[in-house]
Structure 1
Amino acid sequence: MATEISSIGKQALMSRLFEGSGFVNGRGCAFSGDGDFGTVHKVFMEKVDFDLTYNPLRHLGHKLALNVIGELYAGMYSPVGMDVVVALSNRFSAEDVQDLWEGVTAAAKEHGVRHLSLDLVPSASGMVVSIAAYGSAGKEVAQKRKKAQSKDLLVLSGDLGAAYMGLHVLEREKAAFEGTPGGAAPKQPDLTQYKYIVGEYLSPYIKPGIPGRFSEAGIIPCGGYFVSRGLGEAAKRIAADTGLGVKIYVGKIPIASKTFEMAQELNLDPITAAVNGGDDYRLLYIVPLEFHETLRHDFQDWDIIGHLARPEVGEVLVTPEGAEIGIHAQGYEQ
C-alpha cells in the first residue's frame, strides 16, 4: 500500500531518502573547504511560491534574490555572486523580463553582490526562477564558531507574522476582484490601511551587512536560520541540527500592531501567524549565553526570544503563565 507523504511529513520523507546514502541533506547553505565559502540554491515556481496576480515583477525579482541572500547571511556569509535562470512561457514579454531583472539587480547592489549571471529558457507554462548564490566569510567564522549548548540564546532580527497577514489581505482582494459580475468594471482595491503588512509580503527588507556587524562585535553565532517558512519550522530545524531542545517565549515574540489588528479582523491568532506563517524574511541566530550583555546594549534592534534547552524538552512555546506548548510546523510529522 502506497504511503501518503502527508502521513509522515516532508522532513521525515527527506530524512528517509538520505538514510544510508552516505550524504547529508545540506539545507540552507552548503559549505566547502575550510568553511570560508558557502553556496545556496533555490527554485521558485509560479502558483506555488508566488502569484503574479498581485506580485509586481520588479518586487518579485527583488524578493527572490533576498531569499537566497538571507540564507547566506544565516550562515554568516557575505554574498559575492548570483547565477539566475528564468524559465518563461510565451505569455511573458521582454519588458516583463526587464522588470524582474531590475528587481534582482537592485537587491544585488544593496547587498554588495559583485557577480551576476542570467540565462533564459523556455517553459511549457508559467514562470520558474532558479537562483544559486555564493558568499564568503573570514576564516575566523569557522575557527571561532562554537558548538551550540543548552541555554544559548535565540536572537531574532525583526517582527513576525506581518507578511502572512499581508498575504491574507491580497488573497481576499484577489477573490473579490475575480468575483466581479460579468460586464461590471473590476474595482481596484484600496490597500492603504494595510500598507505595512502588504509591504512586508510583497517587498520584504533585509538590512545589508549583518554578518559583518556580528563579527565586529566579536560575536560568531553557533548557527543561523533564515525564517521564511514560519518560526515553528525554524525551531524544528534548530532542534534537528543541534540535537537540543528549543524554548521560545510567547511574550518575547515581536509582533507589529498592524499584524495584531489584521489578525483581529480575520479572527486569527497572531501567534499562529508568527509561528506557522511565512515570508517574514527574518534571521534567527543561536548566540552563546556569554554575549547576553553585548546583545542587550549593542543589538537593541534584535530580540532575544528564547534559548536552547535539554533535548528532552523538545520544541516548545512558553506562555506568560509558564505553560509549555509543543511547536508544530508544516512538513513535520505531528
Structure 2
Amino acid sequence: MEKDPPDVTILDQCRTLYEDRGFFVVQHDRRESRGTCLRAGVSPQVGRGWMDIRELRDGISLGRCDCVIHSPHEYSYPNFSCNLGFNMLLCGGFQLGIPELGLSEQVQAGDLWLCSGRVEEVRYRHQPHTTMRGLSLDIPVHVLDQWREQLPQRFSRNLDALLSRDPAVCMRLTHHRPTISRLATRLLAQSCSDVCDELRLESQALDILAVFLGLDISAEETRRHCGGSRRSVAIDEAVDILCSEWVDPPTIAALARRVALNECYLKTGFRQRLGMTIGEYVRKLRMQKALELLETGEHSVLEVALMVGYSCPGHFSGAFRQFHGRLPSNCIR
C-alpha cells in the first residue's frame, strides 16, 4: 500500500490559493528571525487591506487579516485542512459553507470557531463594503500530544474527538469572550518591523492561545459536531464491500470510487475507524477464514491458500504464521 501524502501546512495551502485566486496579492514570503512569514495585500479589484500568516514556535501558525471588501465576492478553498484551529472574527461577517459537513452559517463579529481535520471544499461569500478583521491560530497535533497531560481537563477530555479528523470538525464556540476580544484586538494591531516586534507578537499569540485552551468544550457540544457524516457512512460502506469481496478485493482507487470518497480520506478514515490499514484488514479477514477452513480438516494447505486468494502457498504460509503464530499445516485436524 502506498503511504498517505504528508500533511500540508497552512502556509503551503495559502501559497497555492494565492497563486490560483485573485483575492490576495503576495507582497512577501520569506524567512524571518522567528520563522516564515507570508504577507499579502487585497487585490485592488476586490478591496483594500492586508493579511499575514506567520510560523511561531513548535510549528504553531498565526494568521491575521484587516481588509475591506468593496464588491460581493465568492470563492472556495478545495481540500482545506488544519490541525486544531481557533478562528475569531473581530469585525465584519461572511457566509461560510462546508458541503461535506452540511454546514451553512453566517459568521459574525465576535464569533469564535474551532476547526480540525480536512474537508473537500470550504466556501466563502462576502457582502459588499464589508470590513473584515480577524485572526486564527493553528496548533499541530504533535504539540497537543506533548501538552496533553498538562492541558486543563475541561479541554483535554474531548481532545481525542476533536482531533479524530473523521469527520472534520467546524463549530462555533458559545462562550462570552471579552478577554479574548481584547487580546485579539491588541494582537491584530501589533506591528512586526523588527525582532522585538516579532517577540511581542509571539508572546501575545501565546497569551491568547492559553485562553483558547482554557475554554470549556462541553462533551455535548463535541458530540454534536463530531457525529456521523457522509465520510463516516462511506467508511462503513467500504468495510461492507471488503467483508463481501475479501478473496479478490478491489484496489484502493476502485474502492474509493465505489464509496464516492477521496482515496486519502478513505485510507485515513479507515485506519482511524478500525485501527489498521485497508490491506491489514483484508489480510485479517483472509487469515481468519483460512483458520476456519484448516480446522475442518477437509482441505489441504494449498487448497486453503487458493480459497482465500493466495496463488503462492509459500506466501500464504508466511502470512498465516505472521498472523496466527504457527504454520497452517499445524492447524489441520
Larger radius of gyration: 2
Structure with bigger helix share is 2
Give the TM-score of the pair, scaled to structure 2. Answer: 0.25
Give the TM-score of the pair, scaled to structure 1. Answer: 0.25
Structure with bigger strand share is 2
Q: More relative contact order in 1 or in 2 (CA 8 Å, sep 6+)?
A: 1
